[in-house]
Amino acid sequence: MKNSRRIALMFTLTSTGLILLAAAVLVLMVPSIKQSARAEWHAFTCPAVPESRTQLKEYVSGITSYADPIPFGTAENSGSPNLHFDFDLDLSMAVYQTVDAFDGPKAFNMMRSSPAIVRVVGDVSDSLRSVSVGFWMKSTDPSPGVRIVIRIERPDGALVEWNEKRLLDPEHRTSEWERFNFEWLLRELPVDSNDRVIVFISSKSSEPILIDEMDIVFRSAKPFNQGVPHA
């Protein structure tokens, strides 16, 4: 390599390095930029929502019905703030199910990810305060990497916020049924009644995870008056 090329390359690398360094310093040292970068990174890392998800049918009357995906169910459900899935329905797609259950005849045999449950905030809550998700699970993997993911998005799909809880390996009991709960307290989060709450489970394990008796609760500030329509 000629000297001039070498110098040009070194100049380019050095200046790129300096620019990157300056950017890093800016991100680390300026609180507003740091905060903004953190928020961007947080949004960027939101796990992709599984394609299999609840189908929403909105009627002229303003009522929405929900068809939850297998193995959660197939029947149309109204918007109850308390969802319970026992995975005991006799489904033809047996690949999702196992007879090794925590309670009842069957459990959900999850590979990598569950389908997503979707609800419109105003259908299941009046001033949504928190979203809780919990289930019994069993895994032979000592490090199953199970996550409960909750995402809130606008009707057009824009992310409002997301949150997750990871099962910590030291707390995991291999090959035993164990309860895994997550409560996301929304606090000051600006949630609109038309926003969507999306819930799913994921795992990094190559082995199936057994899931049973799953609950999703949408908590309002007060007892929920389901008869009152939302905007």
Q: Which spans of this chain sit near other proteins (rule: CB under 8 A)?
A: 80-82, 125, 132-134, 165, 167-168, 171-172, 178-181, 183, 213, 215, 217-220, 222-226
Least distance (Å) from other proteins to the CB of residue 208? 19
Whether 61 contacts 124, CB under 8 Å:
no
Least distance (Å) from other proteins to the CB of residue 120? 15
Task: Please name every residue paired with 184 in a beta bridge, in sequence order, or none if there are none.
Answer: 131
Q: Which is nearer to other proteins, 162 or 224 (CB)?
A: 224
Q: Which is nearer to other proteins, 156 or 176 (CB)?
A: 176
Least distance (Å) from other proteins to the CB of residue 86? 12
Classify 144 as helix, strand or coil.
Answer: coil
Measured CA to CA in angstroms, residue 132 lies from 9, 81, 140, 156, 165 at distances of 55, 10, 25, 24, 11
Q: Which is nearer to other proteins, 52 or 65 (CB)?
A: 65
Least distance (Å) from other proteins to the CB of residue 28? 20
For tokens 């009357």, the residue is 61
Least distance (Å) from other proteins to the CB of residue 29? 20
**Antiparallel, parallel or unpaired: β 107-110 and 64-67:** unpaired
d(CA 56, CA 22): 48
d(CA 107, CA 123): 28
Specify the amino acid at residue 217: V
